[in-house]
Structures are given as C-alpha cells and as structure tokens.
Amino acid sequence: MKALFTCIFCSLISLSLFAQVQKNKNDHFAAIDSVLDRVLSDHHVAGFAVAVVKGNKVIYSRGFGYRDIVNKKPVTPNTLFAIGSSSKV
C-alpha cells in the first residue's frame, strides 16, 4: 500500500514539474512576439516571417503583418518572398 501511494505521489509531482516547464517556454515565445510586433510598427514594413531553429527542428515560426496590403492577406510562416538579387552574393 505504501509503495502504491509513493508511486502515485511521485507521478503527480513529476507531472506538475512538466507543466511548469511548458509554461516557461510559452512565456519566451510571448516575449518574442511582442518584440517582433514592435519591429513591425517601428520600421513601417508591410510584413515579414520569422523562424527559430534549434538543431534540426523548427521550434517557433510565425508571420507578422501583411503580404498583400490591399487585399489584407496576412504573412504566414509559409509565405514565399521575392528576394531579388540577394542570392548572387
């Protein structure tokens, strides 16, 4: 009986610790969102997309602003942008 109680208690403690770790990750992304929203307004650009990569995994991606201002089409993480001659370098 004591072993079962101990097992259940440890499981509940580990679940609460996991929930706290997830909450902290979301706080970091909220801070990124607020900074990038400020960049959008301060630099008067139509829109841009951002991705954060850790190792081989995309951990954050989001579009900001509009890709088509007239038709109010938003930028998404999958929006393709014309980069002009930027790749010649």
* β partners of residue 47: 65
Enumerate residues 6+ apart whose C-beta is below 8 A from 54.
Answer: none
The first and second tokens of residue 10, run together, are 């440890």
| pLDDT tens-place string over residues 21-65 | 444 555 678 888 889 999 999 998 899 999 999 999 999 999 999
* β partners of residue 49: 63
Q: What is the pLDDT of residue 69?
A: 92
DSSP tag of 46: S
Q: Which amino acid is at 89?
A: V
The model's pTM is 0.62
Q: Which amino acid is at 38?
A: R
Return the domain boundaries, the chain: 2-79
Overall residue count recorded for the chain in this entry: 89
| pLDDT tens-place string over residues 10-21 | 555 655 555 444
